[in-house]
């Protein structure tokens, strides 16, 4: 895909997240409501309302199919395709914790073309493509130049599917102990946006789903970082997802085989 076409689809994705932002502003007096809770997975009404608005906007301006958290993949999904997380950090939003975002990515096969993440609390728009660069609002961003884990901030988390057995906890603890500090924000998308903009230095999470990190991995690559992920399983889980400024990737051998 050539640069003018990428720029066009980046504008489409930005327009879609802005439509979601407008909807939230228009309905800011309405308190979010829990729709379902299954094990550790929580869904609120905004997950579904935002998804409909965003998918409608994307379909109005492009012919690409979609993979989205709430509705899954369209049958026979082709390439390129949109990957949408209409509200990353739903429980944060429900409880008034200020880490939640809208994220949209465009992928071609396994490769990210572009990513857009809107911080719904701060209003910051992170966007980029390896072909164009990366920005927060209109300011160019790049990953940090921290090169030692002992000086670095690692972003991580426990996805809803995480198995809290002794082996899993030990593996996470071992990984985190190499870093200077560890932060858990409850939004994988924002964690990766922070890595892309140099606020944090590395991200790693086991058994995360693709829609949680697709836009963030695209942003990290666009901002000059290194983004690594495993192959997908049948539920669109990634066994490992890592992003960093060059030398701070978490060793793949810490994750499950």
pLDDT at residue 209, as a whole number:
86
Architecture of domain 149-250: 3-Layer(aba) Sandwich (3.40)
Beta partners for 237?
Answer: 209
pLDDT at residue 257, as a whole number:
40
DSSP 84-125: EEEEE-HHHHHHT-S--EEEEEEEETTEEEEEEEEETTT--E
Whether the full predicted model's pTM is greater than 0.75, yes or no, is: yes
Cα–Cα distance measured from residue 209 to residue 83, given in angstroms and rounded to the nearest whole number? 11
**Assigned CATH for 3-140:** 3.30.540.10
pLDDT at residue 75, as a whole number:
45
The CA-atom distances, in angstroms, between 83 and each of 48, 74, 79, 169 are 15, 11, 11, 30
- Token output for 246: 């060059």
Cα–Cα distance measured from residue 208 to residue 230, given in angstroms and rounded to the nearest whole number? 10
How, if at all, do strands 153-155 and 202-209 pair? parallel
Please list the pLDDT of the chain residue by residue as tens digits (257 residues).
899 999 999 999 999 999 999 988 888 777 677 776 776 776 767 778 888 989 999 999 998 888 887 666 554 566 899 999 998 988 888 888 999 999 999 999 888 999 999 999 999 999 999 999 999 999 999 999 999 999 999 999 887 777 778 888 888 888 899 999 999 998 999 999 999 999 999 999 888 888 999 999 999 999 999 998 887 777 677 777 888 887 798 875 544 44
Cα–Cα distance measured from residue 59 to residue 50, given in angstroms and rounded to the nearest whole number? 14
CB 87 within 8 A of CB 52: no
pLDDT at residue 77, as a whole number:
62
Q: Where are the domains of the chain?
A: 3-140, 149-250
């Amino acid at each position: 895909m050539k640069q003018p076409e990428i720029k066009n689809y980046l504008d489409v994705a930005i327009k879609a997240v802005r439509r979601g932002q407008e909807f939230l502003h228009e309905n800011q007096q309405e308190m979010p409501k829990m729709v379902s809770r299954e094990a550790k997975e929580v869904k609120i009404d905004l997950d579904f309302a935002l998804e409909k608005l965003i998918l409608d906007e994307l379909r109005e301006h492009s012919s690409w199919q979609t993979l989205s958290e709430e509705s899954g993949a369209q049958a026979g999904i082709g390439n390129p395709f949109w990957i949408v997380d209409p509200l990353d950090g739903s429980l944060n939003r429900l409880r008034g914790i200020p880490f939640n975002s809208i994220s949209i990515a465009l992928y071609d096969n396994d490769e990210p073309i572009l990513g857009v993440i809107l911080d719904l609390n701060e209003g910051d728009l992170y966007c980029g493509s390896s072909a164009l660069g990366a920005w927060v609002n209109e300011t160019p961003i790049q990953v940090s130049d921290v090169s030692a884990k002992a000086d670095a901030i690692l972003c991580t988390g426990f996805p809803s599917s995480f198995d809290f057995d002794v082996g899993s906890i030990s593996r996470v603890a071992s990984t985190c102990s190499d870093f200077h500090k560890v932060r858990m924000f409850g939004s994988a998308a924002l964690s990766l946006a922070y890595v892309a903009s140099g606020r944090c230095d590395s991200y790693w999470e086991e058994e995360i789903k693709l829609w949680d990190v697709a836009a963030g991995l695209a942003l990290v690559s666009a901002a000059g970082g290194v983004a690594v992920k495993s192959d997908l399983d049948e539920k669109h889980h990634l066994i490992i997802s890592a992003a960093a400024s060059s030398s701070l990737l978490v060793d793949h051998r810490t994750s499950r085989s």
